[in-house]
C-alpha cells in the first residue's frame, strides 16, 4: 500500500488527520525508501557540499571536550546523520586531538534502516565504538557532545489556524482521491513542534546533569514565520499534499522555541547565522589552506562550495546555529 492509500484508509476510518500525523507518516516512509541526498536526490546538505563544514565542526567539538576537562568516557552523538558524511569529516579532522577518539564512544540516532546501513558503510574503520539508537532516550549517562544538522526540520509540526471563532488545529482530509486541507477559512497560521522541544529539553537536562555541549544547525527563524511546511523533490518545491512519502517534507525550525526549551536547564548561545558562525570558526583560512594544495578544477569547486555555505543568497543567512552547553564553557562562533 502506498502512503497515500494508507492515509486514505486512516482518514476514512477516523476523519481528517493533523499536520503532525501527516508529516510523521510521510517523513518516516521517505527516509526508509528514498535516496534524498545530492545532485541525483532531492536536496543537498552542508556536509555534502564541502568537507570544510565537518572539519570546522570537528574542531568546535574537540574544543568543547577540552574545555570540559577532557572527560573520559564521553558520548559523541549525531542526530539524523544522513549518509554519515559529517561524522566522517568530524572524525578525520579530530584524529590528532590527543585522547579525544579514545575517550569517545559514537552514538548515531537514526530511525531509517536504509540510512543506518549507509552510515555504517561510510564510517567503517573510522571509529571502534559505533552504535545506533532509535531515539535519544537510551544514550549513556556520560558527558555529551552532540551535533544535529538538518534534523529538527524533519520532526512533525502542528499547525493552528486563526478562524473567526478562535484558533483551530489544521487538518487534512480526502476529496476525490486527493489529500486536501480540511478548513474552509483562510487565516493566520502558527506552528509548533512539541517533539523538537521535548528532545531539546531532554538533551539540555542531560548536559546539565553530566556536562556537555551541542550544536543545532538548520534552516529556521527566531520570530514570526506563519506557514513554513514545504516539500522538495529533485531540488524543486513540490505541493505539500502531493506524493506523500515521495518528496522531502519539512518545516522551518523555530529557534526561539528550541532555545527556550534548552534554557530551563543549560546555557544557550545564538542562534547566529551559519555565515557568522563559520566565519568566526575560520572558514576563510581553512578554504585558503585547501586551495594551496588544489589544481585549477578543484580550486573552482572549493571556492564555490565555501560560497554556498556562507553566501546570503545561498545557505549563509537562512541557516542558523544554536549551541547549548553546561556552565563554564565558552563555545567558539557566537
Ligand atoms: N544530517 C544529515 C542528514 C539530514 S536529513 C546531513 O546533514 O546531511 C535528516 C536525517 O534525520 C536523516 O538521516 C533521517 O533519516 C533522520 N531522521 C528524521 N527523522 C528522524 C527521527 N524522528 N528519528 C531519528 N532520525 C530521524
CA separation for the pair 182, 128 (Å, rounded): 51
Q: Which atom of ligand 1 is nearest to the CA of 37?
A: 8
Determine whether the shortest distance from the Cβ of 110 to ligand 1 is under 6 A: yes
Nearest CA to ligand 1 atom 3: 82
C-alpha to C-alpha distance for 116 and 120, rounded to whole angstroms: 6
**Bond from prior residue into 271 cis (ω within 30 degrees of 0):** yes
pLDDT in tens, the chain (334 residues): 899 999 999 999 999 999 999 999 999 999 998 889 988 999 999 999 999 999 999 999 999 999 999 999 999 999 999 999 999 999 999 999 999 999 999 999 999 999 999 999 999 989 889 999 999 999 999 999 999 999 999 999 999 999 989 999 999 999 999 999 998 778 899 999 999 999 999 999 999 999 999 999 999 999 878 999 999 999 999 999 999 999 999 999 999 999 999 999 999 999 999 999 999 999 999 999 999 999 999 999 999 999 999 999 999 999 999 999 999 999 999 9
Which residue in 17, 16, 18, 20 sits closest to 251, CA to CA? Answer: 20
pLDDT per residue as tens digits for the range 156-178 = 999 999 998 999 999 999 999 99
Would you say 243 and 3 are in contact if contact means Cβ atoms under 8 Å apart? no
Quick check: CB of 150 below 6 Å from ligand 1?
A: yes
pLDDT of residue 64: 98
Q: Find the 329 Cα to ligand 1 centroid distance in Å.
A: 28
Closest ligand 1 atom to the C-alpha of 153?
Answer: 9
pLDDT tens digits, 76-102: 999 999 999 999 999 999 999 999 999
Distance of CA 84 to the CA centre of its chain: 13
Q: Are strands 230-233 and 212-221 parallel, antiparallel or unpaired?
A: unpaired
E strands, the chain, are: 17-18, 74-79, 104-109, 130-133, 144-149, 158-163, 166-169, 171-175, 178-181, 189-192, 212-221, 230-233, 236-238, 248-250, 253-254, 267-273, 319-325
CA proximity to 197, closest of 269, 110, 255, 265? 255
Quote the pLDDT of residue 330. 98
Distance 37 CA to ligand 1 centre (A): 11
82 lines ligand 1 (CB under 6 A): yes
Q: Is the CB of 109 under 6 A from ligand 1?
A: yes
Set of cell numbers at residue 36: 534524498
* DSSP line for 89-154: HHHHHTTTSTTHHHHEEEEEE---HHHHHHHHHHHTTT-S-EEEESSGGG--SS-EEEEEES-GGG
- Residue 185: its pLDDT value, please? 76
Q: Select from 101, 43, 37 the least CA-distant residue to 73.
A: 101
What pLDDT is stored for residue 186 in this prediction?
84
d(CA 322, CA 216): 5
Residue 44's pLDDT is what?
A: 95
Q: How far is CA 186 from CA 78, 159, 164, 226, in A?
A: 39, 13, 10, 12
Which residue's alpha carbon is nearest to atom 21 within ligand 1? 111
Name the average pLDDT for the chain.
96
Q: How far is CA 171 from CA 38, 188, 253, in A?
A: 32, 15, 20
Kindly give the distance from the C-alpha atom of residue 153 to the centroid of ligand 1, in angstroms, as a whole number: 9
Q: Is the CB of 81 within 6 Å of ligand 1? A: yes
Compute, in angstroms, the gap from residue 115 CA to the centroid of ligand 1: 9
- The answer to whether 102 and 18 have CB atoms below 8 angstroms apart is no
Amino acid at each position: 500500500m502506498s502512503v497515500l492509500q494508507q492515509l486514505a484508509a486512516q482518514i476514512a476510518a477516523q476523519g481528517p488527520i493533523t499536520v503532525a500525523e501527516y508529516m510523521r507518516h510521510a517523513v518516516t516512509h521517505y527516509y526508509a525508501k528514498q535516496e534524498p541526498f545530492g545532485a541525483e536526490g532531492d536536496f543537498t546538505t552542508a556536509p555534502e557540499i564541502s568537507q570544510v563544514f565537518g572539519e570546522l565542526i570537528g574542531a568546535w567539538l574537540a574544543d568543547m571536550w577540552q574545555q570540559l576537562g577532557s572527560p573520559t568516557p564521553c558520548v559523541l552523538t549525531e542526530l539524523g546523520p544522513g549518509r554519515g558524511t559529517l561524522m566522517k569529516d568530524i572524525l578525520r579532522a579530530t584524529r590528532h586531538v590527543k585522547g579525544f577518539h579514545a575517550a569517545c564512544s559514537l552514538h548515531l540516532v537514526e530511525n531509517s534502516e536504509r540510512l543506518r546501513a549507509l552510515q555504517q558503510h561510510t564510517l567503517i574503520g573510522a571509529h571502534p565504538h559505533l552504535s545506533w539508537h532509535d531515539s535519544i532516550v537510551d544514550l549513556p549517562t556520560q558527558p555529551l557532545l552532540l551535533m544535529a544538522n538538518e534534523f529538527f526540520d524533519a520532526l512533525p509540526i502542528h499547525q493552528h489556524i486563526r478562524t473567526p471563532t478562535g484558533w483551530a488545529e489544521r487538518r487534512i482530509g480526502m476529496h476525490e482521491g486527493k489529500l486536501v486541507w480540511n478548513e474552509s477559512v483562510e487565516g493566520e497560521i502558527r506552528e509548533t513542534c512539541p517533539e523538537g522541544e521535548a528532545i531539546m529539553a531532554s538533551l539540555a537536562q542531560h548536559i546539565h546533569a553530566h556536562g556537555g555541549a551541542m550544536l543545532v544547525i538548520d534552516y529556521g527563524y527566531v520570530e514570526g514565520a506563519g506557514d513554513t511546511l514545504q516539500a522538495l523533490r529533485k531540488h524543486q518545491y513540490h505541493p505539500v499534499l502531493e506524493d506523500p512519502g515521495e518528496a522531502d517534507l519539512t518545516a522551518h525550525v523555530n529557534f526561539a522555541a528550541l532555545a527556550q526549551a534548552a534554557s530551563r536547564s543549560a546555557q544557550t548561545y545564538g542562534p547566529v547565522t551559519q555565515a557568522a558562525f563559520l566565519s568566526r570558526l575560520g572558514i576563510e583560512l581553512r578554504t585558503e589552506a585547501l586551495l594551496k594544495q588544489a589544481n585549477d578544477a578543484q580550486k573552482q569547486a572549493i571556492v564555490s562550495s565555501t560560497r554556498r555555505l556562507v553566501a546570503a543568497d545561498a545557505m549563509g543567512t537562512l541557516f542558523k546555529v544554536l549551541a547549548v552547553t553546561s556552565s563554564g564553557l565558552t563555545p567558539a562562533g557566537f
